[in-house]
Chains A and B, each alone.
Chain A
Amino acid sequence: MRKKGWLWCGFLSFLLLCGCAEPKVIEEIGLITASGYDPGKNGTILGTLVELKIDPVATNDVVILETESSTIRGIRNAANKKTSKGLASGQLRVILYGEGMFNKGNTGIAESLSTDPVISDLTYLAMADGKARDILQLKAKQIPDIGIHLYNLINQNTKVKIMPSATLQEVLHNHFTVGKDPVLPILKKEGNKEIAFSGVAIFKGSNLVGKISTEQSFYLTLLTDKFKSGSIDIEINSDSSKLEPINRRLNKIVASLDSIGSSSDIKLINKEKVEFDLNVNLTARLLEITSQISLGNPENIKLIEKEINKSMKKEIEKLIAYFQSKESDVVGLGEVYKSSVRHSKLTDEKWYKMLKEAKVNVNLDFTIRRTGLIE
């Protein structure tokens, strides 16, 4: 009897397995590596798909497909009519949204993608400055495969934290969390041959409310993430007589920092009248400064530290004021509030009101580790 039980178990589990897998042999499918969405005519969506189609005979392996459909999924089905191989989105690496998709308050796009199990949670999302289609249609000699190129571009910049990380999982998480809002990096077509990171889009819920520059993006990362390496050029606004510009041509002082290490900590210090303490620790190596100041003197180093501290603090305060004016909480102050106050029953609407009146004290502690290395 026991033996028969075994047989039955094995047999039944085999039967159950039969429904599991749907064969998709790699050479019989066209792999979508990147997709872009723009608003189309009459409220439809214009989809641009980059298909990697491997054919040993063909010279070009990348096919760009354009279709219009009412739904995101419909785009793939419509594009299927144009290809010789069935399209599959399991290798999708980058999703690009045209700016127009957010202008009309179009929402729910990321959600519809997240319900597709074959799409990786680590797919990068980005917003195109202009149309996504124009970026994906870019034809340049040095870019044989636009999908892979975009992926490498975003991946590389995200790893060194020049770009804020915006994977599908992170964007969705920030979207659905009360007290935090998503950001998307903005990609811009420069000339006819290049694509560059040009800024960060700020969202309130799923509505695009503002943009910040790539320089400001550094401060945003400073507040939300940790730096372990990285470099930045920072402008010092100072009236100290010691810090004079090195030449007349560049009439400002710029310090080049390297090996940045940072940590940030947000604390709620007043629950009634919402007030936050924002402590940022920052260490860096000073490589270069466009001033004639002698770096051998420790007092001068102290001075530079102080001045950089001041300029950075001003930038951060400006940035937070901007976020507050746009009612967008990309730093995640609401999350801190929610975790510090019991039974706060925070909702998005409640929080956006509180955010406008919240006071944020920025404490920045910047130290110069050393001043460059001599070869």
Chain B
Amino acid sequence: MFFNKKLFLPKINLPSMDKDLIPATRELMSAEFKKRLQDSADILESEIGISGITLFSISTLIDKTMLHQDIIDPIKNKSFDSVQKIKEDLSIGEMEESTQMEKVVNSALDGNVIIYLEGNSSVLLVKIPSQVGRSVTFAQNESLVIGPQMAFTESLKTNLTLIRNYIKDISLCIEEIKVGARTNKTVSLIYINGIVSEQMVGTLRKRIQELKIDGILDSSMLEQLLSENSLSIFPQTALTERPDRVSDSLLKGKLAIFVDGSSLAIVCPQSFMEFFHSMEDSNVNWQIATFLRLLRFTALFLSVFFTSIYVAALTFHYEIIPQTLLFTLSESRAKVPFPPLIEALLLEFIIELLREAGARLPVKVGQTMGIVGGIVIGTAAVQAGFTSNILIIIISLGALSSFVTPSYTMGNVIRILRFPLIILAGFWGFYGIMYGFCFLLLHLLRQTSLGTPYLAPFYPPRLADWKDSIIRLPLSFTNKRPNQTRAEDVYKYDPVKAKKHK
């Protein structure tokens, strides 16, 4: 609308095809290898043994112990006349022969050692990547009381292992797509064939393949690139660090995307309601799960509307204040020098400051923030006549409610939404709040997640799915997969058979 689209032309010099063969001599090979990798300092070239075997690799990407024990050791005292012979002597799982220089260089970037034997038109690629990264740890952002405690790590392989451990199914599909002209990230698209809608897989695969970008570093970035309406404040796909959550979504017929080097998985399609579901809901009794979900939805409304209702009631609609509250409210307001709008905005601002400071500060300092915030806001501000103490209760209730949301991305949105609503309430009272509410509702109604309606199952109404939305009925009631995923295999289990075996 506002900007003219500029044609994007990648400025990478692609080597021509005729140069793509393996050079015949060691010197040529060495020169070519170095040239293609910009004569990088970490290129390792070593000649071993008597038969002129040379190893090329990028030393920072390979496992040195394996290099010494499993490659150099078995071949250093022998003589070979062909690459195939070397292959027989090595005891490493991932080995490959290649005749193309392009592939050789790229595999070096993946952690391969190139075994070059002069006079051979092919080289041997042996994969011994270095293991950098942390081990599987506790879930930090989406912690549960009851349920598995594992979280994804930055290693794509580990993450896929975790998923494979949860779903030991032959129809679990893992597709690999490379994204980013420069970062060349491996992006894995995961789904269960037979459950998932083929159309959705096609759409998502195409969307990922068509990305024209120099690099993505994390899945959260990919998520933004994949979303249908990038101007919307609401996240349209879920980001999760929990393998059980991803597995649960896969079983519902959803798709998951992993990015190498990212500890978050993207799950889609995702409806608005599902952002308020926690994995704990499935792990506890349905009555408790229903209570928790109702609690979260109440918290959502409290968090978004409570402060603005306070501002509107005190600025415009004194009629609606209950008679019993009238006295306490106006007495605490009487000392405050600001109008309710400024008072509320100020306090919301302080709370946001505290939250942001708490998130950025080191853990040890962060704890003191709570004390500072508690004393400064809780007591001093009221005594100084800065704010009324009822507003403090309301604001802290709203802040607390916004942290109840299991999804961090959605929690952020809820906190931000309060500000425009407070301003609307301060200028136009309840009319303003209604205006804001209608705007939000219309906006939410228009959103889609991977082509499915965002407000499902409420709009369009899909009564069968109400059983597992803001309430959760027992597992025996919910034998169908959600309509939203358009699963090809609709039933989780045969309802008739299940009744018989009850």
Residues of A within 8 A of B (CB): 3, 10, 13-14, 17-18, 20-27, 29, 31, 33, 52, 54-56, 61, 88, 90-91, 93, 118, 120, 148, 151
A91 touches B431 (CB 8 A): no
Of all chain A residues, the one with the shortest Cβ separation from B430 is A21
- Shortest B60–chain A CB gap in Å is 50
**How far is the CB of A135 from the nearest CB of chain B, in Å?**
19
Bound: A54/B333 CA distance, A: 10
At the interface, yes or no: B27 with Cβ under 8 Å from chain A? no
Q: A31-B326, A52-B326 are in contact. Are A20 and B429 (CB under 8 A)?
A: yes
* Given the contacts A29-B318, A88-B318, A21 and B431 also touching, CB distance less than 8 Å: yes
In the complex, the answer to whether A56 meets B432 with C-beta atoms within 8 Å is: no
**24 pairs, CB–CB < 8 Å, chain A vs chain B:** A10-B439, A14-B435, A17-B428, A17-B431, A21-B432, A24-B315, A24-B318, A25-B315, A26-B318, A26-B330, A26-B333, A27-B334, A31-B318, A31-B326, A54-B327, A54-B330, A54-B334, A56-B334, A56-B335, A88-B318, A91-B321, A91-B323, A118-B319, A148-B323
Q: Out of B323, B327, B428, B439, which one reaches A18, CB within 8 Å?
A: B428
Any A CB within 8 A of the CB of B291: no
- Give chain B nearest CB distance to A88 CB in angstroms: 7
Minimum CB–CB distance from A357 to chain B (whole Å) comes to: 47
Residues of A within 8 A of B318 (CB): 24, 26, 29, 31, 88, 90-91
A23 and B315 within 8 A (CB): yes
The residue of chain B having its C-beta at the shortest distance from the C-beta of A55 within the complex is B334
- The total number of A-B Cβ pairs within 8 Å is 68
CA distance A56 to B385 in the complex (A): 12
Other A-B contacts than A17-B431, A24-B315, A25-B339, 10 sampled, CB-CB below 8 A, are A21-B427, A22-B316, A52-B326, A56-B334, A88-B318, A90-B318, A91-B323, A91-B326, A118-B319, A120-B319
Contact assessment for A20 and B431 in the assembled complex, using a CB-CB cutoff below 8 Å? yes
Task: Write the nearest CB–CB distance from A293 to chain B, whole angstroms.
Answer: 47
Given contacts A54-B334, A56-B331, A91-B326, A25 and B314 within 8 Å (CB-CB): yes
Assess whether B23 is interfacial by the CB under 8 Å rule.
Answer: no
Distance between Cα atoms of A342 and B20 in the complex (Å)? 102
The minimal Cβ–Cβ distance linking B447 to chain A, given in whole angstroms, is 15
Query: When chains A and B are docked, how far (Å) is the Cα of A14 from the Cα of B331?
Result: 33
Kindly identify which residue among A25, A26, A55, A61 contacts B321, using a CB–CB cutoff of 8 Å.
Answer: A26
- CB neighbours of B498 from chain A (8 A): none
* Cα distance A61–B328 in the bound complex, in angstroms: 12
**Looking across the interface, which residue of chain A has its beta carbon closest to that of B438?**
A13
Known A-B contacts A21-B428, A21-B431; A27 and B333 likewise in contact (beta carbons under 8 Å) = yes
CB distance A26 to B314 under 8 Å?
A: yes
B340 at the interface (CB under 8 A from A): yes
Scan residues 311-360 of chain B and give those whose CB is less than 8 A from a CB of chain A: 314-319, 321, 323, 326-327, 329-331, 333-336, 339-340
Q: Which residues from A are CB-within-8-Å of B330?
A: 26-27, 54
Distance of B135 from chain A, by nearest CB (Å) = 50
A31 to B329 CA separation, bound complex (whole angstroms)? 13
The answer to whether the Cβ of B1 comes within 8 Å of any Cβ in the partner chain is: yes
Determine how close the nearest CB of chain B comes to the CB of A14; give it in whole angstroms.
Answer: 8
Residues of B within 8 A of A18 (CB): 428
Q: How far is the CB of A138 from chain B (nearest CB, A)?
A: 20
Q: B431, A25: Cβ atoms under 8 Å?
A: no
Chain A nearest CB, measured from B383 CB (Å): 13
CB contacts (< 8 Å) of A31 on chain B: these are 318, 326
Residue from B317, B321, B330, B435 having most chain A Cβ neighbours under 10 A: B330
Which B residues lie within 8 Å of A52 (CB)? 326-327
When the two chains form the complex, which single residue of B316, B336, B430, B435 contacts A23, counting CB atoms closer than 8 Å? B316
Please name the residue on chain B nearest to A152 by beta carbon.
B323
On chain A, the residues within 8 Å of B435 by CB distance are 13-14, 17
- Our pick among B335, B340, B439 for the contact of A25 (Cβ within 8 Å) is B340
Looking at the complex, which one of B1, B316, B327, B430 makes contact with A24 (CB distance below 8 Å)? B316
**Which chain A residues border B336 with CB–CB below 8 Å?**
27
CA distance A206 to B321 in the complex (A): 32
Residues of A within 8 A of B427 (CB): 21
Which B residues touch A26, using CB under 8 A? 314, 318, 321, 329-330, 333
Report the minimal beta-carbon distance from A362 to chain B, rounded to whole angstroms: 40
Question: Contacts of B432 on A, CB cut-off 8 Å?
Answer: 17, 21
Q: Cα distance A24–B333 when bound, in Å?
A: 13
Chain B proximity of A329: nearest CB distance (Å):
34
CB distance from A51 to the nearest CB of B (A): 12
B316 contacts A93, C-beta separation under 8 Å? no
CB-CB under 8 A from B335, the residues of chain A are 56
Partner of A90, one of B315, B319, B429, B431: B319
Question: Which A residue's beta carbon lies closest to that of B322?
Answer: A91
Contacts of B1 in A (CB 8 A): 3
Which residues on the B side are within 8 Å of A14 (C-beta)? 435
Q: Give the Cβ gap from A295 to chain B, nearest Cβ, in Å.
A: 43
Return the chain A residue nearest B320 by Cβ: A90
Q: Is the CB of A21 within 8 A of B429?
A: yes
Closest to B313 in A: A26
Contacts of B317 in A (CB 8 A): 90
CA distance A249 to B110 in the complex (A): 111
Complex CA distance for A202 and B319, rounded to whole angstroms: 31
Residues of chain A within 8 A of B334, CB atoms compared? 27, 54-56
Contact between chains at B323 and A54 (CB < 8 Å): no
Q: In the assembly, what is the distance between CA of A102 and CA of B463, in Å?
A: 59
> Which residues of A have CB within 8 Å of B439?
10
Contacts of B429 in A (CB 8 A): 20-21
Q: How far is the CA of A61 from the CA of B439 in the complex (A)?
A: 42
